[in-house]
A and B are shown apart, each in its own frame.
Chain A
């Protein structure tokens, strides 16, 4: 054999040995590694598995979600939406319109002068607070629905019915006159723990300069038990 041939054989043998050696070690590692990992997992208690169902292990302090249906409750007595107003003493039996406020923040008035208007942003009759209903004393050519409102006296009764027929009875407790431009609106619209219904109309001389009656009559009533 030539020296060159010997070197080639030795070189190839070395390469063969190293190659097989690598394969052997590799095969051993593939077999051994899972065992090591599992052993570690058992020992290591800081290990946290990341399952898709991670929500089963919620740690937010709450349990499973529950469905809650909310039924609103009201504080205090529940009022009714007025549909009809009856005041036997002064022969009033009329429909109730809903009124809001005019452009200059006056309480609105009913479009039909034979009807009355309930201030819809305030209390409902029968609820705690002061529900307010206004009616015209007159309109263009004649007396209107609240023409005789001033004849009501403490003890007279007023009845409100809603459109399901639910009825509330009120009794007159007081009446008062206010200048048309009064700022004491709280007296009439402000909060109270009582179940009040206040009736308003115009009264007094017609003020040509102001273009309105000089005063407002307010009849205060309270729900009867």
Chain B
């Protein structure tokens, strides 16, 4: 009985608490922004958003996690790590419910800038999505394709990020070729793409001799359209109290009878 009473009080407290719920807490209506350092000659950097440090010590070929920003325009400033002075500033506008990669591209000496592009973390069930970015300022146009086979991407130049291509998961023998030729530039054989993941292959480096590929992988992040069906119609909620009730009544009866017996 005491336990039941405790339960009743607890659930009352919970009910009251749920009435006094705090203002909306878990709204997902933000812009998500991450930063890719693709400027080959730039040092490690700190990234300031509206004057506040948001990313610290990102080096060439690093990508940060996502920052959560309200929809709107932001002043993004790039500082050499630890420095109070910005080497570069740019305004970037972001929309709610959208994910962005903001890439620092170009040479610090020549053509340094920020490029923002939208990330899509959805993929068809059981498939892998991949897109290619040409972020190497000194490299000519390239094709990306299967070794000695068809091109997946043709004529990508600096600066370009392709649309997503949907592929079956598996291991691919990919190569980067000089655009329009069969001349292999980089041998990417044995690249494994897993199901339900999204890949971004960014070609980075100052020039062809330092060309490298940064492969960023994201897990698909989707949402259902409705909440799960996590209950069913039962008399369960009545069974336990009833059982407790009957037992305690029995115990009470027994107690009272015994007591009377003792008194006599």
Contacts and interface: CB of A to CB of B under 8 A. Distances in A.
B229 A189 contact: no
A140 B66 contact: no
B135 to A, nearest CB: 15
A212 B226 CA distance: 13
Interface stretch (B44-52, B108-116, B215-223): B215-223
Interface string B85-124: 0000000000001010000000000000000000000000
Contact of A220 (B26, B99, B223, B230): B26
A186 B223 contact: yes
Contact of A129 (B186, B187, B221): B221
Contacts of A71: 215
Interface in A54-86: 55, 58, 60-63, 65-77, 79
Contacts of A31: none
Interface in A159-202: 173-178, 180-182, 185-194, 196, 200-202
A187 B226 contact: no
Contacts of A192: 26, 28, 30, 68
Contacts of B71: none
Interface string B17-38: 0100110111111101010000
Contacts of B215: 70-73
Contacts of B125: 100, 121
A49 interface: no
Contacts of B229: 102, 106, 109, 202, 212
Contact of B231 (A70, A101, A136, A190): A136
A220 B236 contact: no
A62 B11 contact: no
B32 A191 contact: yes
A20 interface: no
B24 to A, nearest CB: 8
Contact of A186 (B18, B32, B97): B97
B16 to A, nearest CB: 13
B184 interface: yes
A99 B25 CA distance: 26
Contact of B225 (A173, A180, A185, A202): A185
Interface stretch (B72-80, B161-169, B188-196, B248-256): B188-196
Q: How large is the interface on A (under 10, 10 to 19, 20 to 34, 35 or more residues)?
A: 35 or more
B186 A65 contact: yes
A136 B230 contact: yes
Nearest to A204: B231
A76 B178 CA distance: 33
B14 to A, nearest CB: 6
B67 interface: yes
Contacts of A203: 231
A106 B224 contact: yes
A108 B224 CA distance: 9
17 contacts: A65-B183, A66-B211, A69-B190, A73-B217, A105-B225, A121-B196, A123-B219, A137-B231, A140-B232, A141-B236, A174-B26, A187-B27, A191-B28, A200-B228, A200-B230, A201-B230, A201-B231
Given A67-B189, A185-B225, 19 more contacts: A58-B178, A65-B183, A65-B185, A66-B186, A68-B212, A72-B199, A73-B63, A75-B63, A99-B228, A106-B224, A122-B223, A136-B231, A138-B231, A142-B239, A143-B240, A150-B11, A187-B27, A191-B68, A203-B231
Query: 7 closest A-B pairs (Cβ-Cβ)?
Result: A190-B28, A76-B65, A202-B231, A60-B178, A189-B223, A72-B217, A186-B28
